[in-house]
């Protein structure tokens, strides 16, 4: 193993392709005031997202994926939370923007598909009316035009018999159909950026694949940029051009998807990969689990936050936080004092 970083960077994950940037995030930090003290759920995250690019954000539960997405959406309650850094969407600064200013962007520039479709749908309102509402409030469509567009959107997301489903309540639909409705609502304003936060949580494997394939198809057809959040590296393997791995609120590795899979340098990325379900696994195969638990973000250990769980930790790891450094592959970065050897080098 080499202890020498190839090159330190300003911790920015630049897109590999040279397309213009849609979303530019710099040194984003989200801190909650909790009874146990300040809790930094997102800690100095920087990345760029190109137009029509799909970025996968992966990490264990509690690594800050949802807080990152909600901060980008400007959706966090303003009390007991401090956000610093910059999030520019099409050049418009979101950090510090008023709720009114954010309302101008929601639906038409940025939309989010949440982890749990039941919490984002109103259980006592017909699903068609919920889509109509977005179209009328955000786009100013008339009642008739909104209904016609809602039916088109239900059809776009693959819901059979849209006119019938338009009148259904969320509880009358299956989990997969509900998530399709949530996606229809997110797409109602034709956003440039879609934040999909674990869009298949709680769905069975076949329906998960259908929803992910639907998102793939819609991303290409509607020319959207997507941030696809998941704890499962298998989900992002074929669906993203880049991956950002998060641990304890920080980016610990990022780069082109194929490169991160084949040539990851951070032991945590390897541990995540070893825990990821594979199609080639026999049914009911027990997955490896990463030993130990993610740290308490209100009382982080000094140094690398993965150190208490890392087989490669040395004394320095417990003392100093490693910065992101570039590998020789453009755009591939990792944060580790004792990185795994580069592909082709000796394996540990």
Q: Give yes or no for a contact between 154 and 162, defined as CB atoms under 8 angstroms apart.
A: yes
Of these, 31, 46, 63, 200, which contacts ligand ATP (CB under 6 A)? 63
The minimum distance between CB 155 and ligand ATP, in angstroms, equals 31
d(CA 258, CA 299): 34
d(CA 7, CA 212): 36
Under rule CB under 6 A, residue 176 binds ligand SF4: no
The minimum distance between CB 115 and Mg ion, in angstroms, equals 5
Under rule CB under 6 A, residue 62 binds ligand ATP: yes
The minimum distance between CB 249 and Mg ion, in angstroms, equals 12
Of these, 95, 297, 317, 340, which contacts ligand ATP (CB under 6 A)? 297
Under rule CB under 6 A, residue 84 binds ligand ATP: no
Under rule CB under 6 A, residue 41 binds ligand ATP: yes
Under rule CB under 6 A, residue 59 binds ligand ATP: yes
Of these, 29, 66, 254, 327, which contacts ligand ATP (CB under 6 A)? 66
3: left (phi over 0), alpha (psi -120 to 50) or beta: alpha
Q: Could you tell me which residues come within 8 angstroms of residue 336 by beta carbon, excluding any fewer than 6 positions away?
A: 252, 265, 266, 267, 304, 312, 322
Of these, 21, 32, 44, 212, which contacts ligand ATP (CB under 6 A)? 32
Please say whether the dihedral angle defined by the alpha carbons of residues 298, 299, 303 and 305, taken in this order, is positive or negative.
Answer: negative
The minimum distance between CB 167 and Mg ion, in angstroms, equals 32
Under rule CB under 6 A, residue 206 binds ligand ATP: no
Of these, 310, 324, 332, 333, which contacts ligand SF4 (CB under 6 A)? 310
Q: Which residues pair with 75 in a beta bridge?
A: none
77: left (phi over 0), alpha (psi -120 to 50) or beta: beta
Of these, 39, 304, 324, 325, which contacts ligand ATP (CB under 6 A)? 39
DSSP letters spanning 62-105: TSSHHHHHHHHHT-S-STTEEEEEEEEETTEE-TT--HHHHHHH
Selected range binding ligand ATP among 8-16, 31-39, 257-265, 316-324, rule: CB under 6 A: 31-39
By CB under 6 A, the residues from 218 to 247 that bind ligand ATP are: 231
């Amino acid at each position: 193993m080499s202890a020498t970083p190839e090159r330190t960077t300003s911790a920015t994950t630049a897109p590999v392709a040279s397309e213009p940037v849609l979303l530019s995030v710099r040194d984003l930090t989200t801190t909650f005031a909790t009874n146990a003290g300040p809790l930094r759920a997102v800690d100095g995250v920087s990345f760029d997202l190109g137009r029509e690019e799909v970025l996968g954000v992966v990490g264990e539960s509690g690594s800050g994926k949802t807080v990152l997405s909600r901060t980008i959406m400007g959706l966090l309650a303003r009390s007991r939370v401090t956000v610093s850094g910059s999030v520019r969407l099409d050049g418009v600064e979101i950090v510090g923007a008023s709720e009114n200013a954010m309302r101008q962007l929601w639906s038409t520039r940025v939309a989010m598909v949440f982890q749990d479709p039941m919490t984002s749908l109103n259980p006592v309102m017909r699903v068609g009316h919920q889509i109509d509402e977005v179209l009328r409030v955000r786009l100013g469509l008339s009642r008739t035009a909104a209904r016609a567009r809602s039916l088109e959107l239900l059809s776009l997301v693959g819901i059979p018999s849209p006119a019938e489903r338009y009148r259904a309540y969320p509880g009358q639909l299956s989990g997969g159909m509900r998530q399709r409705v949530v996606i229809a609502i997110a797409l109602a304003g034709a956003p440039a950026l879609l934040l999909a936060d674990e869009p298949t949580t709680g769905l069975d494997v076949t329906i998960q694949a259908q929803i992910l394939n639907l998102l793939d198809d819609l991303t290409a057809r509607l020319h959207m940029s997507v941030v696809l959040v998941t704890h499962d590296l298998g989900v992002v393997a074929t669906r993203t051009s880049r991956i950002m791995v998060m641990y304890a609120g920080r980016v610990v590795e990022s780069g082109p998807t194929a490169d991160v899979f084949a040539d990851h340098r951070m032991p945590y990325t390897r541990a995540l990969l070893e825990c990821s379900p594979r199609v080639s696994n026999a049914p009911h195969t027990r997955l490896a689990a990463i030993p130990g638990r993610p740290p308490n973000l209100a009382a982080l250990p000094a140094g690398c936050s993965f150190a208490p769980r890392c087989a490669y930790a040395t004394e320095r790891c417990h003392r100093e936080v490693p910065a992101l450094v570039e590998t020789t592959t453009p755009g591939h970065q990792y944060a580790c004092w004792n990185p795994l050897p580069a592909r082709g080098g000796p394996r540990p």
